[in-house]
Amino acid sequence: MINEINKEILDNFYSRALFSYLRCIGNPENIFLSEEIGMNISKVLTKNDTVSIKYNGTNLENFVIEVKLILLSEKGLELGYFTSVLDEKQNELDDFLVFK
């Protein structure tokens, strides 16, 4: 359970999301991504966006943490986003890679 949020915790969430993003784009099954966005996927820049904690109803014991990174071209154009989803124990549940 998260009782307090500070910069160190946020930095850790963003670092973990970046690691997940890099693992995702480095997966051989995702070789098509460069073609899909019309540029080398390894040239895409990331920018920390938001960390959201979401509860289901009034149960305070179970929640998810969503960490969102904005994906940018080298010229600063927003290409999409990557979201890493963690459970209340900070285990990775899922991730989403979305291009505009």
> What pLDDT is recorded for position 1?
61
The predicted model scores a pTM of 0.92
User: Alpha-carbon distance 81 to 11, whole Å?
Assistant: 18
> What pLDDT is recorded for position 82?
98
The CATH number of domain 7-99 is 3.10.450: yes
CB 4 within 8 A of CB 10: no
> What pLDDT is recorded for position 59?
87
* Residues found in the chain: 100
Residue 60: how many other CB atoms lie within 10 Å: 9
- State both tokens at 42: 């390894």
100 residues of the chain, pLDDT tens digit each: 677 889 999 999 999 999 999 999 999 999 999 999 999 999 999 999 999 999 988 988 899 999 999 999 999 999 999 999 999 999 999 999 999 9
Residue spans per domain, the chain: 7-99
Look up tokens 């098509």; give the residue.
Answer: 32
User: Alpha-carbon distance 36 to 40, whole Å?
Assistant: 10
